[in-house]
Amino acid sequence: MDKLIIVGGAVLNGDIRISGAKNSALPILAATLLTGEKMRISNLPHLHDITTMIELLGCMGVESSIDEKMTVEIDNSNISSYCAPYDLVKTMRASVLVLGPLLARFGAAEVSFPGGCAIGSRPVDQHLRGLEMMGAEVDISGGYIKAKTNGRLKGAHIIMDIVTVGGTENLLMAAALADGETIIENAAREPEVTDLANCLVAMGSEITGIGSDRLVIQGKEELHGCEYRIMPDRIETGTYLVAAAATRGRIKLRDTDAKLLESVLQKLEECGATIEISENTIELDMKGKKPLAVTIKTAPYPAFPTDMQAQFTALNSVAEGTSMVTETVFENRLIQTHELNRMGAKITLEGNTAMVTGVERLKGAPVMASDLRASASLVIAGLVAEGETVIDRIYHIDRGYECIEEKLQQLGGSIRRVPS
Ligand code: UD1
């Protein structure tokens, strides 16, 4: 298992390119199952989860080829299996996103039941409830979700009990080939849901309310192939902005979109950053100032994203003042605060809130990554800490950040990867 070694103290300064969004690439790759025609998806990020999703499609009989720019051509005309096996699902929960498309196109799907993970229990009851409302029979046995339908799925009026990104995506894809109209209320409004909806429209779907919490889908008998470019990764964007802010530096991000992360940019301005945006760039400059502590509370989009909470907790731990970080989406997502405390942070937990008192300096230490975004927070902490930080279990980080050490080196960070 590789480790990252970071020597803190450098002030980040420079320009980098932002990759395509992992969390929209995954559902869009699953959505290719909805058509037998060829699909061409570009701007995929070069990440382990993407390879896993392509491998998962491959074991169903999907043929694909990827070029060096991470454009994938997909041919779904010869699907021979409707099963997402345990071995792949256990490494990537997003595999459950093949459930809706398989069921809608082939009337059958078997997907290993995704377990919980370090950040929480992560049930899929809302995915299953919606599919049942559309006429699917769902049975759980042998650790698998076995779903089938007699003929096509039927349009339904679904009011989601809670806002779920994956649940909305699975039902949106299922509805695209259902018979009649489906209305999804209390839908997730995350930009990744919008990106998926836009891709479905490019495949011939009729969807209104895109970007709102009420999606209305007129099901089609068939969808066609298309070319689609994945949107920029708003969480990668936010992570580099926070890293630059924590080191009191300056950064310019290219190929991104400020409209995807307004709540995050507002918090960075509250922190004392000067932000300039253009159509596809974001520039942040701390002008050498120490960041000010900011209070945040995670909630579904457009509120502050749970996937940016850990990074802001790291930032707050070296900021001026005290702050409260409240996590409302995943029950166990403040877990990285213990590792930050091992680096000298002053964080106490009260239920789902972290009380963070900014310290002058963190101190490098050996730490362990527990999940994707928690790992990003440890990288940020390592960049601002005095001395050397060694981060173990960095496979988590490789699931969500393309070439993280190259990008940080380009910005002047001292970071390298070593095999354990
Ligand atoms: C997606 C993102 C993840 C992000 C999360 C919230 C992908 C691949 N992952 O995850 O990075 O952190 O959105 O923005 O896109 N829940 C239920 N029942 C369900 C489904 C969810 O109770 O059927 C709960 C979850 O336990 C959690 C909350 O709803 O508390 C939100 O989860 P959800 O939005 O579904 O997250 P994911 O789609 O798994």
Per-residue pLDDT reduced to its tens digit, 267-310: 999 999 999 999 999 999 999 999 999 999 999 999 999 999 99
**pLDDT tens-digit map of 39-60:** 999 999 999 999 999 999 999 9
Q: Which atom of ligand 1 is nearest to the CA of 307?
A: 12
The number of residues in the chain equals 420
Structure tokens at 128: 């299953």
Q: Sorting pLDDT into bands at 50, 70 and 90, what band is 116?
A: low
pLDDT at 369: 87
- Give catalytic status of residue 83 as yes or no: no
CA-CA distances (angstroms) from residue 305 to 25, 26, 82, 146, 295? 18, 18, 33, 32, 13
Task: Give the position of tokens 């699931």.
Answer: 399
What is the structure's pLDDT at 151? 93
Q: Helix/strand/coil (H, E, C) string of 96-158? A: HHHHHHHHHHHCEEEEECCCCECCECCCCHHHHHHHHHCCCEEEEECCEEEEECCCCCECCEE
Q: Is the dihedral of CA 262, 298, 325, 372 positive or negative?
A: negative
| CA of 190, closest atom in ligand 1 | 14
Tokens encoding 381: 């902490």
Q: 125 CB less than 6 Å from ligand 1?
A: yes
CB 237 within 8 A of CB 282: yes
CA of residue 79 to ligand 1 center, whole Å: 28
Nearest CA to ligand 1 atom 22: 123
Q: Is the CB of 206 under 6 A from ligand 1?
A: no
Of 59, 83, 117, 403, which is the active-site residue?
Answer: 117
Residue having the nearest C-alpha atom to atom 13 of ligand 1: 165
Report residue 101: phi and psi, to 5°: -60, -40
How far apart are the C-alpha atoms of 392 and 144, rounded to whole Å? 32
Residue with the smallest CA separation from ligand 1 atom 37 is 166
**Distances in Å between the alpha carbon of 174 and those of 76, 222, 333, 360?**
17, 12, 30, 52
Q: Is 123 in the pocket of ligand 1 (CB under 6 A)?
A: yes
* Nearest-atom index, ligand 1, CA of 300: 14
pLDDT at residue 119, as a whole number = 77
